[in-house]
Amino acid sequence: MNWVTKMFSSSLGQKFIMALTGLFLCTFLVIHMIGNLQLFKSDFGLAFNTYAVFMTTFPLIKVVSYLLYASVLFHAFKGFMLVAKNRKARPVKYAVQDGAANSHWTSRSMGLLGTIILLFIVVHMKNFWYEYKFGHEIGYTAYIQDIHKDTLVSQAMEPSYTQVKKIEEVNYSNESGQYHVTIVKDLYKEVAVEFKEWWLVALYVLCMFAVAFHLYHGFQSAFQTFGINHSKFNGLINFIGIWFFSVIIPASFAAMPLFFFFK
Amino acid sequence: MEKNLNLSLKVWRQKNAKDKGQFETYKVNDISTDMSFLEMFDVLNERLIVEGKEPIAFDHDCREGICGMCSMFINGRPHGPKQGITTCQLHMRSFNDGDTIVVEPWRASPFPVIKDLVVDRTAFDRIISAGGFISINTGNAQDANALPIPKDDADESFAAASCIGCGACVAACKNASAMLFVSAKVSQFALLPQGQPERKQRVMEMVAQMDSEGFGSCTNTGACSAECPKEISLTHIARMNRDYISAELSSAK
């Protein structure tokens, strides 16, 4: 057997890939969260919509996004395979097993939490990614900035309006002043409309708990799988894993649907 | 002196590897709190023999916590409710009068039940045979200080070597993974100069054997270390992880 195949088909090698793809998905979450913070700006979504165009057109981001889709699928697929293999290692279950006595429940529920997250990703991509790329629901909005007075108005375009490029920008001036006009696909409005549904908001918030608990164990576990378990670094790894990845990130994401629901 | 205990035992009985097996309940009375868990089983077995019934088969040997023979999954935990001990070191003062205690064998496909509470742990022996040794074929033992070894390394190697191969790590793990056992046996040599010549080959072959025995993979739950009678650290698993990947990447084979 080829040594690469051998390495990655061993139990340690498979865990290594799980850790590698898992941490890559963590870095994605950081970018996704920071980018989406623009939803909180009071600019009728100009910054967010411009950002959405950049994220779907910039070549490097496009390449990374395909790597990302592959990582999600691989992490999920490999995870299911490992769960199946691990179950096979104990064909007769214990009548009584006190897992709480020796381990944290999140570490024993990674498969379940991961499944919830996978289903969430499907719903989430249908809601926004699919609608943005292939749907016909999302219209265009024109943003008119007054360059001198520094004011901004937004004007939804007719539903039938369409343009070749995802974003069009023009400058024009008349007797009342100088203006910068941006016409862009209004994903922000789609977000605002979707998150008026209470059940969708509830679903998103609950799924962020799944993300929080998955990363509570997953982030530090990935370092252990890489062989990084050292008294000099464990404190930092646990701190980042718990406070950043299982508190700040999911809380920020959960704040977005809540913000639009109560807005 | 504490009051003696009256207990109910729900014990797994299985005639042989092919038998389906089932729980049977036994009442044991007047059990001294100074008895070990195994001595309580001895009392029960004496009674079963007198009654003309088949005594309960269970593994034991040294009865002082160093041989690794005693197993028993007691009330959902290997070696029972206490930490850092084997079943022979578990005393009946850890239980209360009137308790029902559920006793099961280790459950893992590489540890098939031989009879009742006895499981076949030769899978561990095969992992050791695959690489858990150093090949020194001749001569006397060297002078103790001929090879300089830092005290910290010697201590950590010794901590790994304190593994008695009881299998509690496999029993406790939700995946029935043998990572703690194998990593202890890899680490005890990886930390010492004598282990270096075969370091890469050892970890690769022991991991390959571990996988072929059908143990599960590691989810880093830490249950193994928490239940280990010798309190072997998870740092050994981390060492084996990095040794394995670097060995695969850098070895000639």
Please report, in tens digits, the pLDDT of each residue of chain B (253 residues total): 578 999 999 999 999 999 999 999 999 999 999 999 999 999 999 999 999 999 999 999 999 999 999 999 999 999 999 999 999 999 999 999 999 999 999 999 999 999 999 999 999 999 999 999 999 777 887 787 888 999 999 999 999 999 999 999 999 999 999 999 999 999 999 999 999 999 999 999 999 999 999 999 999 999 999 999 999 999 999 999 999 999 999 988 7
Q: How far apart are CA B131 and CA B159, in angstroms?
A: 19
The parent domain of residue B230 ranges over: 121-134+148-250
Q: A170 and A50, same structural domain?
A: no
Interface test with A, best of B111, B169, B177, B248 (most A CBs within 10 A): B248
Domain boundary residue among A155, A185, A215? A185
CATH number of the CATH domain containing B219:
1.10.1060.10
Q: Is B218 on the interface with A (CB under 8 A)?
A: yes
The more confident residue out of A254 and A134 is A254
pLDDT reported for residue A165: 85
Q: B199 and B237, same structural domain?
A: yes
Q: In this complex, do A95 and B102 lie within 8 Å of one another by their Cβ atoms?
A: yes
Q: How far apart are CA A55 and CA A61, in angstroms?
A: 6
Q: Which of residues 122-151 of B touch A (CB under 8 A)?
A: none
Judge contact between A10 and B211, C-beta under 8 A.
yes
| Count of domains forming chain B | 2
Q: In this complex, do A12 and B223 lie within 8 Å of one another by their Cβ atoms?
A: no
pLDDT reported for residue A150: 84
Q: A132 and A74, same structural domain?
A: yes
CATH number of the CATH domain containing A80:
1.20.1300.10
Q: In this complex, do A89 and B216 lie within 8 Å of one another by their Cβ atoms?
A: yes
Q: In this complex, do A13 and B241 lie within 8 Å of one another by their Cβ atoms?
A: no
Angstrom CA distances, B150 to B8, B79, B92, B133, B145, stand at 52, 34, 42, 21, 11
Overall average pLDDT of the A141-160 stretch: 90
Q: A78 and A18, same structural domain?
A: yes
Q: B183 and B155, same structural domain?
A: yes
The parent domain of residue A148 ranges over: 140-185
Q: Of the candidates A14, A95, A108, which has its C-beta nearest B174's C-beta? A: A108
Amino acid at A48: F
Q: How far apart are CA A18 and CA A40, in angstroms?
A: 33
Angstrom CA distances, A210 to A120, A246, B221, stand at 10, 9, 17
| Count of domains forming chain A | 2
Q: How far apart are CA A106 and CA A114, in angstroms?
A: 11
Residue of chain B minimizing CA distance to A11: B217
Q: In this complex, do B175 and A94 lie within 8 Å of one another by their Cβ atoms?
A: no
Q: Of the candidates A13, A99, A226, which has its C-beta nearest B174's C-beta? A: A99
Judge whether B112 lies within some domain.
Answer: no
Amino acid at B82: K
Q: B228 and B125, same structural domain?
A: yes
Judge whether B94 lies within some domain.
Answer: yes
**Tokens in use for A29?**
């979450």
Chain B residues with CB-CB distance to A94 below 8 A: 73, 76, 104, 107
In this structure, the strands spanning B5-13 and B100-104 are parallel
pLDDT reported for residue B240: 98
Question: Looking at the predicted structure, is the pLDDT value of residue A177 above 90?
Answer: no
Q: A150 and A129, same structural domain?
A: no
| Whole-number average pLDDT of chain A | 95
Interface test with A, best of B220, B232, B250 (most A CBs within 10 A): B220
Other CB atoms within a 10 A radius of the CB of residue A170 amount to 10
Q: A242 and A151, same structural domain?
A: no
Q: B234 and B152, same structural domain?
A: yes
Q: A238 and A149, same structural domain?
A: no
Q: Which of residues 155-194 of B touch A (CB under 8 A)?
A: 172, 174-177
Other CB atoms within a 10 A radius of the CB of residue B169 amount to 29
Overall average pLDDT of the A67-75 stretch: 97
List beta partners, residue A151: A146
**Which band of pLDDT confidence, cut at 50, 70 and 90, is reported for residue A1?**
low
Q: B129 and B47, same structural domain?
A: no
Angstrom CA distances, A110 to A118, A215, A234, A238, stand at 12, 9, 21, 17
The values of phi and psi at residue A256, to 5°, are -65, -55
Q: A167 and A90, same structural domain?
A: no
Q: B26 and B70, same structural domain?
A: yes
Q: Which residue has the tokens 């007047």?
A: B30
Q: How far apart are CA B250 and CA A237, in angstroms?
A: 27
Q: B29 and B90, same structural domain?
A: yes
Judge whether B176 lies within some domain.
Answer: yes
Judge whether B141 lies within some domain.
Answer: no
Q: A219 and A168, same structural domain?
A: no
Domain boundary residue among A185, A210, A241? A185
Judge whether B110 lies within some domain.
Answer: no
Q: B127 and B76, same structural domain?
A: no
Overall average pLDDT of the A79-101 stretch: 96
Judge whether B161 lies within some domain.
Answer: yes
Q: A90 and A219, same structural domain?
A: yes
Tell how far CA A138 is from the center of its chain. 20
Q: A198 and A240, same structural domain?
A: yes
Q: Is B84 on the interface with A (CB under 8 A)?
A: no
Q: Of the candidates A13, A96, A225, which has its C-beta nearest B220's C-beta? A: A225
Judge whether B139 lies within some domain.
Answer: no
Q: B44 and B15, same structural domain?
A: yes
**Which band of pLDDT confidence, cut at 50, 70 and 90, is reported for residue A163?**
confident
Q: B43 and B161, same structural domain?
A: no
CATH number of the CATH domain containing B99:
3.10.20.30
Q: Which residue has the tokens 């699919």?
A: A130
Domain boundary residue among A185, A218, A245? A185
At B115, is the secondary structure helix, strand, or coil? strand
Does the predicted TM-score (pTM) go above 0.90? Answer: yes
Judge whether B113 lies within some domain.
Answer: no
Q: B186 and B96, same structural domain?
A: no
Q: A103 and A213, same structural domain?
A: yes
Compute the nearest-CA separation of B69 from chain A (Å).
20
Burial of B143 (0-12, 13-18, 19+ CB in 10 A): exposed
pLDDT reported for residue B1: 57
Compute the nearest-CA separation of A28 from chain B (Å).
23
Q: Is B201 on the interface with A (CB under 8 A)?
A: no
User: What per-residue string of b and e applies to A43-63 under the rule 16 or more CB within 10 Å gives b?
Assistant: ebbbbbbbbbbebbeeeeeee
Q: A257 and A180, same structural domain?
A: no
Overall average pLDDT of the A187-207 stretch: 96
Interface test with B, best of A1, A6, A12 (most B CBs within 10 A): A12
Compute the nearest-CA separation of A75 from chain B (Å).
14
Overall average pLDDT of the A4-8 stretch: 89
Q: In this complex, do B109 and A91 lie within 8 Å of one another by their Cβ atoms?
A: yes
User: What is the 8-class DSSP label of residue B57?
Assistant: P
Q: In this complex, do B77 and A16 lie within 8 Å of one another by their Cβ atoms?
A: no
User: What per-residue string of b and e applies to B33-66 under the rule 16 or more CB within 10 Å gives b?
Assistant: bebbbbbbbebbbeeeeeeeeeebbbbbeebebe
Q: B125 and B74, same structural domain?
A: no
